[in-house]
């Protein structure tokens, strides 16, 4: 794909802020559903279910129609709600991830395996650097540094020579 995809742009929630949603049923040619299955199985897009593709497609089509002819639109309101829901999802994910990291590091440190704790923090730090620049990347990096930066400051860098003797066989 020519331009890089932002997975947040593909996520269209199934309900509003109050948890309300409306089931939608319609008939479609079998080839449409088969194509949706192909897209899901490809793993090239951040969709987990057919409904996610259909909601995203519907949102894009409604915006397109609004651009063709001026009609009353509530899409901006719906998009504002979607953005709030995305932020809530991001905040929950942030809290959950750091809870899991803290749990794993506590186990390592409790077992006297400081090296493993350092290894885990370094891996996570490297993954965070791959994130798209912005608020959430900054928040993750800052939190990791505040909680476990001391592990990295006290740890020596890995070397290919570690564990090798200076003596010859």
| Integer CA distances (angstroms), 30 to 15, 33, 42, in order | 27, 5, 18
What does the pLDDT read at residue 107? 95
Whole-structure pTM value: 0.53
Higher pLDDT, 159 or 22: 22
pLDDT above 90 (res 57): yes
The residues, any chain, with a CB within 8 Å of residue 66's CB and separated by 6 or more, are 73, 75
What does the pLDDT read at residue 155? 66
pLDDT digits (tens, 9 = 90+) for 63-122: 888 888 888 877 778 778 878 888 888 888 889 999 999 999 999 999 999 999 999 999
pLDDT digits (tens, 9 = 90+) for 112-157: 999 999 999 999 999 999 888 888 899 999 999 999 999 988 666 5
Q: Is 2 exposed, middle or buried (0-12, 13-18, 19+ CB in 10 A)?
A: exposed
């Amino acid at each position: 794909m020519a331009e890089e995809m932002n997975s947040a742009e593909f996520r269209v929630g199934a309900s509003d802020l109050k948890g309300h949603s409306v089931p939608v049923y319609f008939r479609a040619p079998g080839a449409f559903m088969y194509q949706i299955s192909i897209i899901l199985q490809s793993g090239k897009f951040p969709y987990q279910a057919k409904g996610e593709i259909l909601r995203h497609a519907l949102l894009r089509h409604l915006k397109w129609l609004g651009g063709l002819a001026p009609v009353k639109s509530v899409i901006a309101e719906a998009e504002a709600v979607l953005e709030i829901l995305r932020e809530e999802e991001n905040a929950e994910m942030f809290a959950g991830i750091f809870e899991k990291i803290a749990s794993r590091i506590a186990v390592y440190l409790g077992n006297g395996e400081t090296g493993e704790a350092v290894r885990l923090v370094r891996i996570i730090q490297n993954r965070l650097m791959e994130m798209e620049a912005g608020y959430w990347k900054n928040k993750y990096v800052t939190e990791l540094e505040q909680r476990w930066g001391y592990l990295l400051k006290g740890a020596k860098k890995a070397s290919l020579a570690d564990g090798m003797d200076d003596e010859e066989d």
